[in-house]
Structure 1
Amino acid sequence: MTRIPHESSGEPNPLRALTLDRLRLRTSMKWRTYPDDVLPLWVAEMDVPLAEPVVRAVGDALALGDTGYAAGTGYAEALAAFAAKRWGWHGLAVERTAIVPDVMLGVVEMLRLVTGPGDPVVVNPPVYPPFFPFVEHLDRRIAEAPLGADGRLDLDVLEAAYRRAVAGGGRAAHLLCSPHNPTGTVHTAGELAAVAALADRYGVRVVADEIHAPLTAGGVDFVPYLSVPGADSGLSLMSASKAWNLAGLKAALAVAGPAAEADLALLPEEVGDGPSHVGVIAHTAALREGSAWLDALLGGLDDNRRLLAALLADELPGVVHRPGEATYLAWLDCRALDLGDDPARVFLERGRVALSPGPQFGTGGAGHVRLNLATSPEILTEGVRRMASALR
C-alpha cells in the first residue's frame, strides 16, 4: 500500500488556539470531573476548536432542522475515500459496513455476533480500560495476552492465549486495539498478518478497535487490520471521533472483511437507530473535508511529543517514556519514583494534575500513568511541572 505523508496544510496548529480560561468553560467530562484547581490531562478529549468543515456542516443541519434519524451510506463512502488516500487501502467496501452508535458499543455488537455467553475474549493489557467492563457486561470472559516488555504484541504469548481460549471447544474472539491505547504502538503489517494467521489456525475471530487510526506520528504508517493477508474473517470498528474530537457526536462504522459479511448481515436493525444523525453529518464532514485541519493537528502532536520528552528529561528523569507512534496519549513508567501502584493518585493529591491511573489498564499497568498530550504546549509544560512538584 502507498499512502500520503503528513502534509503541511497551511492551517494553524489547533492545539495552540484555546487558552486555559476558555477551556474551563467547557462542561464535558474532562473539565467537570475535578475541581478547578486541578489541571486535567487524563481522559481522551483534545483541547482544540473543531475543524471548520465540521462546524459548518453541523450548523447547516441545525439551521435546516435536519435532526432526524441517520440514513444513507455517505459516512461509509467518506471513510472508504479517506482510507484509500490516507492509508493506500482500497479494500473498504461500503456494502460491508454498518453504522453503530460508537466504537465501544460497536465492539459489543461485533462480539455478540461471533461469540456466545461465557466465551473468551482475548485482550492485550495494558489496554484501554473499558474493554474489561464492556466484555464482562456482555457475559463474556477476559483472556489476557499481555504485551511484551517492548510494548508490542508478543506472538508467542498470543498463540498460547488463543490455544487456551479454544481448548474447551467454544468460540473465541480477540479484541485488538490498533493503534494500541495506552502505549501508542502501531502494529506493523507483519505483526498483523501474523495475528491473522494465528486467528485462522485456531478459529479465533478478530475484532479490531481502530478508533485512533488517523492519529499516527510523522513517518509512521497505520495498517488497517482488514488489509493484511488472511484477515478476511475480521471485523473492524472505525470512527472520526478521536482524530477530530467528536466523542459527543455519536457515530461509528463497523467494517467486515469479505468472509465476515454474513456475520455483519445479522446485526439487529435496531442497532442502526443508535447513532446520532447530526453525529453522522459531523463525522462525514471531517473525513471528507477535514484533512488540512488533521494535518495541522498531527504536526502539533509531533511537536508536543518532542516537548514532553524534553520536559520529562529535565523535570522527571526517573520516568521511563517511549514516545508513542500514534494516538495523543503518553504511557509513563513511574515505578522508579517509588509512588506505589497508582502514581496518578500522588500526582493528583500533591501536584493537582489529573492523569489516568495505570492499574485501570490491567496487567502491566501498575506503577504507570497515562498522560493526554493533546493540549497547548503551555498547559503540557505546566502539567509536567506540577507532576515534578508532587515529588518535592
Structure 2
Amino acid sequence: MGVGSGTALCAGAVLGPGVLALPALAADAAGPASILAWLVLLVTSVPVALSFAALGARFPDGGGVATFVHRAAGPRAAAAVGWWFYGAVPIGVVAAALIGGQYVAGALGLGPVAAAAIGAVVIAASFAANCVGLHLSGRVQLLLVALLAAVLAGAALAAAPHMTSAHFTPFMPHGWGSVGSAAGVLFFAFAGWEAASHLSGEFANPARDLPRVTVYTLTAVSVLYLGLAVTTIGALGPAAAGTDTPLTDLLARSAGTAARPIAAAAALFLTFGAVNTYLAGASRLGAALGRDGAAPRWLARGAAPGEVPRRSLTVLAGACAAVGTAAWLAGGDLDGLMRATSTCLASVTLAGLLSALTLLPRRTWLWHAGIASSLITAGVLAFSGLLLLIPVVLAGLSWGFTTLTGRGRAGRA
C-alpha cells in the first residue's frame, strides 16, 4: 500500500460519519463554545497521530495499538487494549451506518425502517470490499475520500456568506463544563487514528510512508472539521442544536432543495469510507490477537501482511448483526451507540499514548506533547460516566480468557 491509498484509508477512518451528526450534538451541548471542544481535540490529535505513526514505523504490525502496548506493558495489557478496540468496532460500525442511513432516508422522505435497511446495505458492501482484499478497498477509498472532501469543503464555503456574529453570542451559555461534555461527544470524530494504526503492516515502506500519510491526513481533517464547526454555528445559529442533518442545512443555504440529494450522496461516501476502514483495521487486529494468544487461535488465519483475515471478518459480521438487532429493538439510540464507541476508543487512545511515552525517545517535543494529550484524553474519559463499565468489562473478559487458557505470558514481543 502506498501513500495515496494509505492517506485515503486513514482519512476515511478519521473523517468519519461523525461530521454528519456531531456538529449539531456538540452545539446542543455547549452552544458556540463547542468550537473550543473541536479545537482542543484537533490539537490533541497531533501528538496522537504522530506518536502512532512513529510507533507504526518502528513496529509495523496488524495489531496496531495492541502491539505498541504489548511492547510497553506486556501481553495482558495488550490483550485488554485489543479487546477494547475489537469490541468497539461493531458498535461504531452500526452507529456510522445508521447516520448514513438516516441522511439518505431523509432525502428520500422515508422512515426509520428504510434508514436501518440502507445502513445494513452499507455494512454488507463494506464487508464485501474487505473480503476481496485491502488493495481493492484502498483504490475505491481514494476516490470516495476525494469526492467527500470536495462536498464537505463545498458545504462550508456555501454557508460562509450566511454567517453572522450574532450567532456566536452568548459564546458559552452552559458554562465551562459544557465544553468537556461536547468533547466527550466529539471524540467519536477523532478516534480514527487507532483504526489506521492497524494498517501499518500493509505499507510497502512504513518508515517512509506513515509520517507522510499522517501529515496529509491531519492537514485535511483539521481544515474540514474546523470549517464545518465554525460555519455550522455561524450560519445556523441556535438552530444548529435542533437539527439532525446539519450538513443538509448548510448546503441548503445555497443549493436549496438540491441539498438533500447532495447530502445523501455525501453521507453514503462518508459512511462507506469509515466503515470500510474500521473493518479493515479490526479484522487484522482480530487475526493478530488470535496469532498472539490473546484470542482463540482460530482467528489467526490471515494475520500475515497481504492476506485477508476472513475468519475475523466473519466474527465481526456476526457481532454487527447482533448489535444492529439490539439497537433496533431499543429504538435506535444513536447517541448511546456513539458514546459507547467513543468511550472504548478513548481508552485505546490513552493506552496507546502511555505506550508511546515508554517506547519513544524521552524529553523530545513529541514526548511532552504526548503527556499533554494523555491528560486531555483522560479528562474526556471522565465525562463518560457509567459507560466506562464497557472497557472495564472487556478488560475483565480478556484477563479471564488469557488466564483460563494459560496464555497470559504468550504472544510476540
What TM-score, normalized to structure 1? 0.32
Larger RCO (alpha carbons 8 Å, 6+ apart): 2
- TM-score, normalised via structure 2 length: 0.30
